[in-house]
């Protein structure tokens, strides 16, 4: 399914391989960050106050 998305997004480029690799790299990095949030940070949040403290960091 990602191959179809890549073809649709990068069809106009002369050499889309470089951009597809960057897209895949940043997708993998964002999955790791999301996993860190889901496993390490969000289970410790039980009220609104810690949640607002987490979002103030960003």
> Residue with structure tokens 């103030």?
56
Backbone phi, psi, residue 18, to 5°: -60, -45
For the chain of 58 residues, list the mean pLDDT of each consecutive stretch of 10: 83 88 92 90 80 74
Please tell me the predicted confidence (pLDDT) of residue 25.
94
Query: Alpha-carbon distance 25 to 19, whole Å?
Result: 10
Instruction: Quote the pLDDT of residue 38.
Output: 87
Enumerate the domain spans of the chain. 20-58
What CA–CA distance (Å, rounded) separates 24 from 27?
A: 5
Structure-token pair, residue 52: 């607002």
- E strands along the chain, which residues? none
pLDDT score at 33: 92
């Amino acid at each position: 399914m990602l191959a179809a998305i890549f073809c649709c997004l990068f069809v106009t480029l002369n050499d889309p391989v470089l951009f597809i690799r960057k897209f895949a790299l940043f997708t993998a990095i964002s999955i790791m960050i999301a996993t860190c949030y889901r496993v390490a940070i969000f289970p410790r949040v039980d009220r609104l106050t810690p949640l607002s403290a987490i979002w103030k960091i960003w």
